[in-house]
Structures are given as structure tokens and as C-alpha cells.
């Protein structure tokens, strides 16, 4: 569930840097700082008497040495303008220097104050688990066709040998994902594929529809549409490549999609990595509860906010024309915002319009309306294949205990005798060993995916073959 993850850094930024020439201090060099735990670098250099160069690097957003549109300076300040291909939204930044510190104020859908300090280099993200060739297995570029929606999907098939006994398809979480399910330079699906392929389990990972080399429209698609993409992959592996068994490994929303696929055609086994086991409204309310606690809201305001979210979720259905939802959603958002103290209002959003957009901008899309009303229970109850359901104990997006309890209840209701449910201590939603265990920490952690969980998955799949 990655929609809305992270802070999007400036699409259009103007920066003013003041410096004190009398103290012989100047801003030329490399500076580093953080906005909401998002690390950024600014490289400033003088070119002529009144012009300069500025390069921006935001490692977790794959922005590297992005040149400015303009950079000029005089005796009092440096003015820099950037334009980056991210969101299209403007941002304004003021940097003021005091000795070896730049005091920064960024304005982009709110105000962010932070400090920048001189550094000797732009630090690169370390991702030691990312596989590097040569591999002991082969990788093949493949395509498979979704007849229902008439689109081709492209992916990579990793295979150690030609026996074609068993293969798995990796299903990504929400939001547009490439075949490696890349997030903050982590490539968890590439790591999982590498581990399984070395164990003799062939793996198909593919670009989501509308991403990379795959065709289709992701923004008007729902989880059901994604399930038919996966089903097309299953048919390709079984019918064209003649695999004996095909299983699914789904992360987050991918774990929701896997049981839907099993309702479309036969699946040999399913591994759910933090996939929902309870109704999505319950899951999302719990997620919001954890996210909003200990924030800038008072206890009373927190309860009011959670009630607002609950009312919005109840309001958003699948059938009502979205135009008929605009006013009721706006009225609820405005009522909450206007009841806040002015100081709290400014911290949340610059205006009630800004608050409405930040809260409800995605609520009217087909994906969200299908997702928020989805209950995985009947699909899980119908599963007659082996199921391995895993969660990290520190997952704040799909909370482990109620979620895994939901899996157990539903699988037992369906009389499924072949399932295993495990909670891994100290792991977050991405199955990383965490310390802060926040969403912002995903990018800071060097490890991509727990080796212990990798071993559990491969051992469990291989045990089915015996």
C-alpha cells in the first residue's frame, strides 16, 4: 500500500540563499539536510560574477544531480530555480546561511523548516541485497496476453533448469510498480526472485499494467482488473510453458489479489506477504489509528479525525456516481478542519481547500472505491490450496495480529487444512528489520528483505513438492 508514501520534493523550487561575506563564509559546496526524514543534497558552485550552478539530489526519489533552470547571485543572496518531473506542483524555498548552517524554509502544500550542513560528498543509498550478475540461473524477457482487457504484460522469468516443475508469480502492492517492486531503491521482488531461483523455484515478475513495458491503464483499474492480469500470467506458465504447478506470492494488495485469482482459475499454492485477511475498512481504520497517534493533534482532535475517516469510508461506495460524492465528502472535511484551532489548521494544511485535497483527492478513483469496500473473507474461505500467511510484528500498514487472526478464522471457516500462519518479530511492512519502524524509515534501512523470511518461503514451497 504505497500510494501517498513519502514527501514529494519540489517540482518547481526557487531558493534564496543569504550569506555573510564579512565572515568569509559562502554557500559554495555540497550541503545536506532532511525534510520529514527525506534526505536531500544541494551542490552550489560559482560560475561567473553573477551566476552559479545548483544541483539537487534526492536519493530515495531517484533524483541525481538535477541541474537548476537558473542560478544567480548578488552580494546578499543566491536565487535558484528548479523544475523536476515529479508532480507538477510548485515549491518555494528560502535558505539563509549562518556560518556553517543553511536555515531552510520550504513551502509546498504546507511549510517545512529544516537545516542544511556542509558535507564532503553526496551519499549514495546502500542496498547490499540487490542481486548482481552473473547468476547461476537464467533470466528471460517474456510477454503474456490478458485477453479480457486486450493488453500485453511484460516481465522477467528467472529459471534455474528446464524441468518446469514449479513456478511462482510475484504480485506487487498498491500503486504503479515495476517488475522489481522498486521502492526507495530497494528491489524486493528482484531479491525474492534471486533467492527462489537459486533454490530451483522459477519466478515470473512483471511490470504492472501501464508501467515499464506493460500495456494498459493502471489509473482506472481496480484490484479485480489486476487479478485478471495475474490470471493471464498463470495461463501463460501452465498452457504455453507447461509448468506442472504455479503458485502466487503477493505483497500487501498483492496478497489481496491472490485469492481473487484463485477464484478465477486453479492455483496450486499462495504465499501472502502482509496481504489483508480482514475487511479493508477495518484494516485502513487501524492503519490511520496508528498513523495519527502522537502527532500534532490533541487526543480529542485525534478521535475526531478518526471519526472523520470512518465517516468518509462509509460514504465512499462503488455504485454512487462520483459527482454525487463530491459535496458530502467536502462537507465532512470542511466541518472537521474549521473546528480545529487556527494553529493546528496551519500545520495540517494552509486552507480548508488544501485539507480537502490532501485527504480526499484519491477517494473518487475506481481503484480506491473498489479497494475500500473489499472484504477478502469470502475469497480466503474458498481457498482449497496450501496457504502461507506472513506478517511482520512491526507492520503499521497491515497490523499483524488482527490481520493474521482474520486469515486463521477465514481459512478454518473454509475447512482448509493446509495452511501456516506466522508473525515475524521486529519486521516492518516491507519485511525489513526495523528500529524506528515507521514508513519514513523504509528508505533509511539498507537491507531490503529479511533473509529469514526468504528461507521460510523457499522451504515451505519446496516442502509442498515432497
Q: For the ranges 17-26, 189-198, 330-339, 428-437, which has the lowest average pLDDT?
A: 17-26
* CATH fold label, 138-279+374-465: Rossmann fold (3.40.50)
What is the pLDDT at residue 105? Answer: 75
Q: How far apart are CA 174 and CA 151, in angstroms?
A: 19
CB atoms within 10 A of CB 242: 8
What is the pLDDT at residue 10? Answer: 43
Phi, psi (rounded to 5 degrees) for 84 = -120, 145
Between the alpha carbon of residue 325 and those of residues 304, 315, 338, 341, the distances in Å are: 21, 8, 20, 27
Q: Which of 97, 108, 109, 80 is nearest to 27 (CA)?
A: 97
3-class SS of residue 41: strand
Torsion angle of C-alpha atoms 240, 242, 244, 246, degrees rounded to 10: -30
Q: Is 50 exceeded by the pLDDT of residue 393? A: yes
Architecture of domain 12-119: Beta Barrel (2.40)
Q: Is 50 exceeded by the pLDDT of residue 322? A: yes
What is the pLDDT at residue 87? Answer: 56
Q: Which of 394, 114, 158 is nearest to 274 (CA)?
A: 394
What is the pLDDT at residue 281? Answer: 96
For the chain, what are the domain ranges? Answer: 12-119, 138-279+374-465, 280-370
Q: Is 60 exceeded by the pLDDT of residue 1? A: no
Contact residues for 146 (Cβ-Cβ < 8 A; gap 6+): 152, 153, 209, 216, 228, 229, 231, 232
Cell of 67: 541541474
* pLDDT 10s digits, 44-78: 898 988 888 888 888 877 778 888 878 877 776 77
* pLDDT 10s digits, 334-365: 999 999 999 888 878 888 998 999 888 889 99
Cell of 155: 516481465
Between the alpha carbon of residue 362 and those of residues 90, 143, 329, 348, the distances in Å are: 20, 31, 12, 18
Phi, psi (rounded to 5 degrees) for 204 = -110, 120
pTM listed for this prediction: 0.86
CB atoms within 10 A of CB 459: 10
3-class SS of residue 367: helix
Cell of 12: 518547481
**C-alpha angle 140/146/151, rounded to 5°?**
85
Q: Is 60 exceeded by the pLDDT of residue 86? A: no
* pLDDT 10s digits, 131-168: 999 999 999 999 999 999 999 999 999 999 767 799 99
Amino acid at each position: 500500500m504505497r500510494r501517498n508514501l513519502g514527501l514529494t520534493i519540489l517540482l518547481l523550487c526557487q531558493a534564496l540563499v543569504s550569506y555573510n561575506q564579512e565572515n568569509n563564509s559562502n554557500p559554495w559546496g555540497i550541503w545536506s539536510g532532511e525534510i520529514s526524514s527525506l534526505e536531500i543534497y544541494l551542490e552550489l558552485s560559482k560560475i561567473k560574477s553573477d551566476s552559479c550552478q545548483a544541483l539537487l539530489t534526492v536519493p530515495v526519489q531517484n533524483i541525481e544531480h538535477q541541474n537548476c533552470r537558473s542560478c544567480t547571485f548578488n552580494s546578499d543572496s543566491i536565487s535558484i530555480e528548479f523544475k523536476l518531473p515529479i508532480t507538477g506542483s510548485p515549491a518555494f524555498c528560502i535558505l539563509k546561511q549562518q556560518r556553517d548552517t543553511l536555515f531552510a524554509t520550504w513551502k509546498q502544500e504546507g511549510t517545512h523548516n529544516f537545516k542544511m550542513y556542509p558535507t564532503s560528498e553526496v551519499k549514495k543509498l546502500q542496498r547490499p541485497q540487490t542481486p548482481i550478475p552473473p547468476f547461476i540461473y537464467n533470466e528471460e524477457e517474456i510477454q503474456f496476453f490478458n485477453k479480457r482487457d486486450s493488453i500485453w504484460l511484460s516481465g522477467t522469468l528467472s529459471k534455474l533448469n528446464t524441468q518446469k516443475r514449479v513456478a511462482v508469480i510475484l504480485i506487487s502492492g498498491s500503486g504503479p510498480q515495476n517488475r522489481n517492486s522498486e521502492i526507495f531503491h530497494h528491489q524486493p521482488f528482484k531479491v525474492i526472485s534471486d533467492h527462489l531461483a537459486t533454490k530451483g523455484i522459477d519466478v515470473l515478475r512483471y511490470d504492472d499494467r501501464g508501467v515499464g513495458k506493460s500495456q494498459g491503464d493502471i489509473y482506472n483499474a481496480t484490484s479485480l482488473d489486476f487479478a485478471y492480469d495475474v490470471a493471464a500470467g498463470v495461463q501463460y506458465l501452465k498452457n504455453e510453458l507447461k509448468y506442472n504447478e504455479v503458485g502466487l506470492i503477493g505483497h500487501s494488495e498483492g496478497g489481496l489479489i491472490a485469492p481473487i485469482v484463485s477464484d478465477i482459475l486453479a492455483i496450486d499454492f499462495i504465499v501472502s506477504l502482509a496481504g489483508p485477511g480482514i475487511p479493508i475498512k477495518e484494516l485502513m481504520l487501524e492503519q490511520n489509528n496508528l498513523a495519527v497517534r502522537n502527532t500534532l493533534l490533541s487526543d480529542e482532535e485525534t478521535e475526531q479525525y478518526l471519526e472523520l475517516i470512518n465517516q468518509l469510508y462509509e460514504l465512499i461506495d462503488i455504485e454512487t456516481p462520483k459527482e454525487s460524492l463530491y459535496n458530502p465528502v467536502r462537507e465532512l472535511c470542511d466541518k472537521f478542519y474549521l473546528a480545529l484551532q487556527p494553529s493546528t489548521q496551519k500545520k495540517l494544511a494552509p486552507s480548508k481547500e488544501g485539507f480537502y485535497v490532501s485527504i480526499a483527492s484519491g477517494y473518487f478513483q475506481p481503484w480506491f472505491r473498489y479497494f475500500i469496500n473489499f472484504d477478502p473473507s469470502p475469497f480466503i474461505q474458498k481457498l482449497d490450496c496450501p496457504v502461507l500467511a506472513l506478517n511482520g510484528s512491526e507492520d503499521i500498514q497491515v497490523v499483524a495480529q488482527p490481520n493474521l487472526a482474520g486469515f486463521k478464522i477465514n481459512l478454518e471457516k473454509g475447512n482448509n487444512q493446509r495452511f501456516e500462519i506466522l508473525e515475524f518479530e521486529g519486521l516492518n511492512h516491507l519485511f525489513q528489520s526495523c528500529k524506528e519502524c515507521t514508513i519514513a524509515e523504509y528508505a533509511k534501512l539498507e537491507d531490503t528483505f529479511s533473509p529469514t523470511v526468504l528461507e521460510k518461503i523457499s522451504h515451505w514451497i519446496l516442502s509442498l513438492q515432497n
